[in-house]
Amino acid sequence: MSAEIFDKANSILEAIKTAQPKTAEEIEQFRIKYIGSKGLVKGLFGEMRNVDNERKREYGQLTNSVKVAAEEKFASLKEELEAKLDNVVEQIDTSASGEPLTLGSRHPVSVTMNRIIEIFQRIGFVVAEDREIEDDWHNFTAMNTPEDHPARDMQDTYYLMNDPSMLLRTHTSSVQARVMTGQQPPIRIIAPGRVYRNETISARSHCQFHQVEGLYVDENVSFADMKQTLYYFAKEMYGSTKIRLRPSYFPFTEPSAEMDVYWGLKNEDDYRITKGTGWLEILGCGMIDPNVLENCGIDSKKYTGFAWGMGIERQAMLQYRINDIRHLFENDVRFLSQFKAAF
């Protein structure tokens, strides 16, 4: 009986040495047949109980050599196959047409912002940009809004938890404050950028949005200069030759005004947008309060100036007939792809 068991083990060892599987499937079948959980090698170990006691040691050495041979043969075959696959060079059809690249599109806010900037640059205004995390002084106090001023209630502010004197700017007027404290007139800037206010997000308002504010400070600057500057903007941006200025209030300008352009009443959308009046409010403006100039180190007896500000999202929504401001912040490709033709 022992002789037959030894013959079987030697036969399996010889079969392992002569086996020549080529493909990944054949190599896997080799592994299953010999060293799998139900393979022939495991079966050889099970025959140990049928071997004569004086030959058990000899049989144990034989079966171990069969197991090692099977494992080494499998590892060698697997390594050879992987080396062959690594050396395979993919044949590329150079005559085939390339995959088209999907082109992006300009965001409507960026398109509108650049258009506004370009209009004011034509008449000598330069772009000024600064930080979005601002200190309380530049954002409020310098703009004639001290801590106890009721105008602070007009804006819900995001303050930093670890430093209550720092905040996310509520308007780009803070850029104006930094420019005025850093240089003397003449100053002629526009300040575009993102601002933040703690407001409920809805179709008409958002906790973040963009503004463009303008500032002109020099000797003998008048309300008439401001009116003519903004009339030029309205004509270039909207094609409107009619504007009106209505008295308003802002803590950093006096006198202050809201500016409307005549949008017209050509269709139902015009009635909806202008609430049936034909007039559309687009920005706030006014002559810079002397306190603001003095806060920033500018002699208010020698210099005067005007400032204005507008929300870019509002301008974009008007230009492209967008009825929900949330579309501008959701990165929906279906929405953004509509502006591929915009410049």
DSSP output for 252-315 = TEEEEEEEEEE---SSHHHHHHTTTSSEEEEEEEEEEPHHHHHHTT--TTT-EEEEEEEEHHHH
Nearest-angstrom CA–CA distance, 288 and 295: 12
pLDDT over 60 at 342, yes or no = no
pLDDT over 60 at 308, yes or no = yes
The pLDDT of 104-114, averaged and rounded, is: 87
Could you tell me if 192 and 211 are in contact, meaning their C-beta atoms sit under 8 angstroms apart? yes
More confident of the two residues 231 and 199 = 231
Say what the pLDDT of residue 96 is: 76
Average pLDDT of the chain is 85
Query: Sheet holding 279-288: strands in order across?
Result: 126-127, 187-196, 208-218, 304-311, 279-288, 253-262, 243-250
What share of the chain has pLDDT > 70, as a percent?
95
Q: Dihedrals φ, ψ of 82, to 5°? A: -65, -35
Pairing state between β 159-160 and 133-135: unpaired
CA 212: distance to chain centroid?
20
Q: How confident is the model at residue 299 (pLDDT cuts 50, 70, 90)?
A: very high
The pLDDT of 267-288, averaged and rounded, is: 86
The pLDDT of 250-265, averaged and rounded, is: 90
Say what the pLDDT of residue 54 is: 77
CA 234: distance to chain centroid?
31
CA 77: distance to chain centroid?
50
Could you tell me if 304 and 288 are in contact, meaning their C-beta atoms sit under 8 angstroms apart? yes
CA quadruple 46, 50, 56, 61: dihedral sign = negative
Q: Hey, which of 35-44, 90-99, 137-146 has the most confident mean pLDDT?
A: 137-146
Helix, strand and coil content of the chain, in percent to the nearest 5, comes to: 45, 20, 35
Say what the pLDDT of residue 4 is: 77
The pLDDT of 234-251, averaged and rounded, is: 89
Say what the pLDDT of residue 36 is: 79
What share of the chain has pLDDT > 90, as a percent?
38
The pLDDT of 323-339, averaged and rounded, is: 84
Nearest-angstrom CA–CA distance, 264 and 33: 86
pLDDT over 90 at 292, yes or no = yes
Tokens of 316: 């974009």
Say what the pLDDT of residue 117 is: 95
Say what the pLDDT of residue 2 is: 67
Q: Which among 324, 92, 95 is positioned nearest to 202, based on CA atoms?
A: 324
Q: How confident is the model at residue 90 (pLDDT cuts 50, 70, 90)?
A: low
Buried b / exposed e along 117-148 (16+ C-beta atoms within 10 A) = bebbeeeebeebebeeebbbebbbebbbbbee
CA quadruple 108, 328, 212, 241: dihedral sign = positive
Tokens of 150: 């009721």
For residue 162, give the amino acid letter.
N
Could you tell me if 227 and 246 are in contact, meaning their C-beta atoms sit under 8 angstroms apart? no
The pLDDT of 218-247, averaged and rounded, is: 92
In a 10 Å sphere around its CB, with 0-12 CB exposed, 13-18 middle and 19+ buried, how is residue 299 labelled? Answer: exposed
- Top-tier CATH class for 108-339: alpha beta
Task: Say what the alpha-carbon torsion angle 147, 150, 153, 158 is, to the nearest 10 degrees.
Answer: -10
pLDDT over 70 at 64, yes or no = yes
Say what the pLDDT of residue 176 is: 94
Tokens of 89: 């060079």
Say what the pLDDT of residue 24 is: 82
The pLDDT of 137-146, averaged and rounded, is: 88
The pLDDT of 141-151, averaged and rounded, is: 80
10 Å Cβ neighbour count for 250?
A: 23
CA quadruple 36, 23, 78, 70: dihedral sign = positive
Say what the pLDDT of residue 320 is: 83
More confident of the two residues 209 and 12 = 209
Say what the pLDDT of residue 119 is: 95
pLDDT over 90 at 37, yes or no = no
Say what the pLDDT of residue 62 is: 76
Q: How confident is the model at residue 1 (pLDDT cuts 50, 70, 90)?
A: low
The pLDDT of 209-220, averaged and rounded, is: 94
The pLDDT of 208-221, averaged and rounded, is: 94
